[in-house]
Structure formats: C-alpha cells, structure tokens
Chain A
Amino acid sequence: MARSKRPRRLHLALHVALLPLAIIALLGYVGSVLWSIRISFSSSRLFPRTDWVGFTQYERLFETERWIVSLNHLGILALVYILGVLVLGTLMAVFIDQQVRAESWFRTIFLYPYAMSFVVTGLIWQWLFNPGLGLQSAFRQMGWTSFTLDWTVRPDMVLYAIGLAMIWQGSGTTMAILLAALRGVDEEQWKAARLDGVPKPRYYLSIVLPQLSPAYATAFVLLAVALVRTFDVVFVMTSGGPGDASEVPAKFIIDHLFGRNNIGLASAASVVMLSTVFAVLAPLLYWRSRVQARLAAGH
C-alpha cells in the first residue's frame, strides 16, 4: 500500500491518540522492567537500595532449589495446561457445533469457571483432591474401595492436579474462540467431504481444524499469558506444596517480594523468568508479524 505523506494535523492526531499507549508502554512496562533489572543488581530488602552487588542475587537465585524447581514446574504445566486446554477446547467446540439441543446451556456451563476467581475455587479443588475429604473418600464410601485420587498430597502428582484445575478454568474461553472460528467454516465443505465418503472425524481433523490456525494462535497467546501469571491457583490449592512440589515462578517472586522482604532476589527471579519467556516467544511473535505483514500487503 503506497503511503502518501500525512498532513501534519493527522500526524498530530495520531500521536495524541497513541499517547496513552506510549506512556503506559514506556513508563509502565519498560520502566518496570528496567527498574527490576536495576534492583536485581542491588542488595535491596524491603525498600529499594541503590548499591551494586553484581550478580550476587542471581547466584543466590540459582543456588535456591525452590527456584530451579519452580522453573521445571512451569515447563511441565505449560505442556499439561496448554495442550490440555487446546485439546479439550477443540473437543467441546466440535461437539457443540453438532447442532446439539440446549447449546446455550452447555456453553454457559463451560464458560462460567472463567467468571469465578481462584481464591475460593482453588480451595474447592483442594478439597476435591484430598484423599480423606474429597472424591476418593466419597467413591470409597459408595463401595468402590480401590478408587484413588490423592494427587494433591503426592509430590509426584500434585502438578497434574493443579493443571486439571487450570484446565477447568480456562477451557471455556478457548472453546468459545474455536467455536466461533468453526462457525465461520464453509458448510459446503462438509457436503463435498460426505460425497467423497470422508467420515466426520477425519473431516474435522484433516480439513477443518487446519483452517482454524489463526484462532489457535490467538488462543495459544492468551493461554501462555495466563500460564506465566499462574499464582492464585497454586497459592490457594497447595501453597506450593507438598514441600515445594508445586512451586511456580510467580509465587516464588511474590513470596520474596513482600513476604520475605527481599525485592532484590525477587527482581532477579523476575528478570530470569521474563528472559525465558521472551526467548521462547519472541521468535514466535516475530514470525506471526511477518505473516500478518504479508496478509496486510495483500490489501
């Protein structure tokens, strides 16, 4: 698209309009990141200090087992949560798309968890998984004596319990995104596929879902943002336990920021976490912007 020189009046209007964005992006986000980086090189405890201690905080960070463990957990949760939501969301969207009755009821049931904050739903999930209190004890009392669901008290399974609670909360919105995209798929394709004798599942898998890749991309970004911010559910459901078996970076950072009066260490942890996320996502976003530039160029 050939862009002619804009008259000064419009130039001004554009800049005025982008002012809030600029202020927030620069003062808020860039400023905070720069401030964090600065603090991570100081010995700040509860209040910021302006001394320099080199990489001491980072050294200490990587000597702290709880931090290393939390990074591993974030990786595991990334797989469980993002894959889980994408798969479940796809299934829910596809099945609802089959012209079921009471569609709006199903849709509401799948969407409502997102409306509730984890402060109390996390506690419910903790109770559900507790062997003496929740589903395990209920099923055993009903006669199914070998039923076991004690994930939250087992260090090796607790992350999956948290993942499940997160999938419960997040699948609805992904389903909505995918359902909307499904509704945009041309009806004729199904007729053509039927004539060719393609069974419905094959049809969805090979023909429809690939067309939904922009929707999947959007869902993925939103899920990744939610994942990195994961804090409430862990805090309320397991407090990072048993031991540190369900610790996550965001919780580590918050605990050290104000609970342990150590903003220096917390800032170092934030910088590390941010760098990791950027390292993974920057290439993805760059690729996406290239794709969009190509699309836009087609206008």
Chain B
Amino acid sequence: MKLQLQPVVAAVLATVAVLAAPQAYAQKAEVIHWWTSGGEAAAIKEFASAYTKGGGTWIDTPIAGGGGAQARTVMANRTMGGDPPTAAQYNYGRQYEEIIKEGLLNNLDDVAAKGNWDKLLPEKIKNAVKVDGHYYAVPVNLHNENWVWYNKAVLEKAGAKEPTTLDEMFAAMDKIKAAGGGVVPLALGGQGWQEGITFRGVLLATGGLDLYNKTFKDKDTSGPGFRKAVETFKKLKGYVDPGSPGRDWNLATGMVIEGKAGFQMMGDWAKGEFINANKVAGKDFGCFMAGGPKMPYAIGGDVFVFPKSKNKDSEVAQKKLAEMMISPAMQVAFNNKKGSIPIRTDVDTSKMDVCAQAGVQAIKEGRLLSSDNELLSPDAKGAFEDVVSKFWNSDMSVDDALKSMTVALKR
C-alpha cells in the first residue's frame, strides 16, 4: 500500500501553522463544574466572560448530578485516563485530598504570593485550601447549609413569634401544629443529605462550636451534649409530614413558599427558589441561622483545582483563571449572581440581602468553622449520614445510634 505523500505534507504544514499561531488562542481553559441551572450558570458566566475578555478561550464542561458526584466521577476517570481538564470544581473538603497526594494537581503558590493570599484569606478558609503548606485550590465563595427559612404569613396566622433560635422555632412549630389546617410545621425532603443537614443544624444549636468540633474533629461522641443533640433531632420528626421521604429539597422549599409548610432547614441556595417565586426576604419570608445569631459559620462552598497536564500552555491558563476568580471585581460579580458570600473581606457587600449580611458578619467576626466535609473523609461523612438517616427513618434506639455514629466517624 503506497503511502500518499500529499495529504501527509498538508498535515505537517497545517500543524506547523497552528503551532506558530499567536499565543492568545493557546490559552484554552476547559473547566468542569456542575452549575447547570439558570441562576448558577449566570454566576459562572461572570467567570467565563472575564476570562474571554482577558484573551483566553473558555471551554465549558458542565456535568450535573449528585451534588457534584458525577463531576467528581468524571474528574477521577479523566485523571486516570490521562486527559484531565484545565480546572475542576470541588467543594471545600477532603474530596480532592487524594488527588493532591498522588501529585496530580498543580499548586498555586505563585498566584497566592502575588495576591497575598496569606493575608487576604480568613484563617479557616486558608486551612481549607492549603495542604502541607502549599496552596492547591482557589476558593471562590462561601455557602452555609445551616439556615432556617420560614413563611411569615404562616407564622402570623398561627400566632407564632418569629424565631431566632432553635428553641424558639420549636415553640413556633407547636403553634402551627395547634392551628391545624393541614399546614406542615417543618418541610423536610427525606433524602440522606438533607437529613444530614438537619442533624448538623441541631448539633450547632445544641452545643455550638465546641460540640461540633468535638464530634467531627475529635470524633468524640461521648458526653451528654451529643446525646441531647441526637434526641432533639428525633424530636423534630413529630413536626414533619409523612410524605417527606424521597422528596427533593426544592419541593420542600415550594411547600414553604406556597404556605403549605412553615419552616425548612436548608442551605442558602434555597434563597434562589424564593427569589424565583418573586418572594422578598424580610417581607414574605424570613431566615435565621440554626445555631442562633452568634452561630459559627460552617464553611461550605466551592473551590477550583488545577490538574497537572502534559500541555505547558495549560499552566499559564490555570494561573490566569485563579487570579481572575479571586480578584475583587470577580468576587463581587460572581457571588451576587450566585447568592453566596465572597471570601474576601475587602469588597463591597452592602447590596447583599439581610440573610447574606449575617454571613458577612460571621467572617468579619472570625466565626468561621471547618465543616464536617473538611474534617471527615468522604467515606466517614457518608457512613455517618447513613446512620443519621437510618435513625431518623426507623425506630433505632438512641444508644444504638450513638454506637453506630461513633464507628462511622472513625472511617
């Protein structure tokens, strides 16, 4: 079979032409993330536009599902397969711990030095993105999962006072229950992760920062404080409707919006549902932090990591991305659209709504907390939530639950 020369020569010439092209087009950045819905996409659009304006090409690779689980699956496989993206979204935590250990991520020390991250980032956030003294992830926002949302009209009708702590919430829920009319006091979506959020909210309300750290950092579940939290958690079951198992979180929020339920314990992404239904914070719905006004803010939210690749251009692109994402202008633009809080304290947060301002205050006062995501391995966190869910849904005794939780934490 004779080899045709002409196509080969043409291919060689074309390759040379591409290689000789101006460097601007070489700064392609493929970014994996899971922000596919309208509101979320508006936020990442800010990043994409800024990067494109700066001369790069943003290649968007959204992968929805499982709260990021699908995206992480793809990321793990692409890393194994030798075709990693330029950047990938993760949540604060230990999900990317092993990727760092295997030496598969580029560190961001240059960018950090230039941007003075050591001074800029609050202590706890710094700890979350620094491993062995090197920066491996760029933090882009702060979410908190332990908010409580309520429908003002429902509370008013039942004659309940608007609560600012969990105890007051119980009182309000009793009033709603007594008022009857088919209104559910607490709207819960019966899925493992939602039950987990509810539990951690109760934990913070019962014992605050100390109990939270004792449980997730020291893995110590002995002591009356933890037991009280477990019992209080089960007490909430009496306020939840029987149709709760399996329900999606946003349908539970819908119940609160439509006045079919009074309260929901959910993260600050629930705000998006209210806004979409044209409800106004402070007028139609209210919010408070589960652990009370001085509750420490458990760190949640998103970071981006930058895998190593054979392509030298990708390193340049990665540094540009990191710098851009943490810049003051981008922090404001991104977080305004996302509904979360910027991780920089030197930006203008006055336009944010009441609920977000509370979070900003928490950062300013240094009330940040390493979350269970950071303190536990993904396996341990999952096993712990399994027990929480089983305890909630069955008649498992408190003692058995305590025993199983202790075992789970030690994974």
Contacts and interface: CB of A to CB of B under 8 A. Distances in A.
B7 interface: no
Contacts of B131: none
Contacts of A47: 76, 80, 98, 102
B43 to A, nearest CB: 25
A262 B379 contact: yes
A133 interface: yes
Contacts of A245: 393-394
B259 interface: no
A38 interface: no
A126 interface: yes
B378 A259 contact: yes
Given A239-B191, A241-B191, A261 B95 contact: yes
A132 B241 contact: yes
B242 A153 contact: yes
Nearest to A261: B378
A132 B390 CA distance: 22
Interface residues of A, number: 35
A257 B247 CA distance: 25
Contact of A261 (B247, B377, B394, B404): B377
Query: Which secondary structure dominates where chain A touches chain B?
Result: loop
Interface in B186-200: 190-192
A242 B379 contact: no
* Among A64, A237, A243: residue with most chain B CB under 10 A: A243
A48 to B, nearest CB: 9
Contacts of A153: 190, 242-246
Contacts of A132: 241-243
A239 B98 contact: no
A73 interface: no
A257 B381 CA distance: 15
A195 B315 CA distance: 86
A261 B98 contact: yes
Given A155-B394, A256-B379, A241 B190 contact: yes
Nearest to B77: A258
A46 B393 contact: no
Interface in A234-268: 237-245, 255-262, 265
Interface string B379-401: 10111001001111110000000
A152 interface: yes
B72 interface: yes
Contacts of B354: none
A150 B243 contact: yes
Interface residues of B, number: 35
Contacts, number: 95
A241 B393 contact: yes
B245 A241 contact: yes
A277 B302 CA distance: 41
B83 to A, nearest CB: 16
A47 B81 CA distance: 12
Given A47-B98, A130-B247, A260 B378 contact: yes
Interface string A128-163: 001111000000000000000010110100100000
Query: Which secondary structure dominates where chain B touches chain A?
Result: helix
A160 to B, nearest CB: 15
B22 interface: no
Contacts of B247: 130
A88 to B, nearest CB: 25
Nearest to B382: A260
Nearest to A66: B386
A255 B382 contact: yes
B200 to A, nearest CB: 18
A64 B191 CA distance: 19
A45 interface: yes
* Among A46, A66, A241: residue with most chain B CB under 10 A: A46
A243 B98 contact: no
Given A47-B80, A258-B72, A244 B390 contact: yes
Given A66-B386, A152-B245, A242 B378 contact: no
Nearest to A152: B246
Contacts of B190: 153, 241-242
Interface string B229-259: 0000000000001111111000000000000
B410 to A, nearest CB: 11
A241 B389 CA distance: 8
B235 to A, nearest CB: 18
A243 B393 contact: yes
Contact of A126 (B246, B377, B391, B392): B246
Contacts of B102: 47
11 contacts: A46-B99, A66-B386, A131-B243, A153-B244, A158-B245, A239-B191, A241-B246, A243-B393, A259-B66, A259-B73, A261-B379
A-B pairs, 3 with minimum CB distance: A243-B393, A132-B243, A242-B393
Interface of B: 66, 69, 72-73, 76, 80, 95, 98-99, 102, 190-192, 241-247, 377-379, 381-383, 386, 389-394, 404, 407
Interface of A: 45-47, 63-66, 126, 130-133, 150, 152-153, 155, 158, 237-245, 255-262, 265
Given A241-B393, A260-B383, 13 more contacts: A46-B76, A47-B80, A130-B243, A153-B245, A238-B245, A241-B191, A241-B245, A241-B389, A243-B394, A258-B72, A259-B73, A259-B382, A261-B379
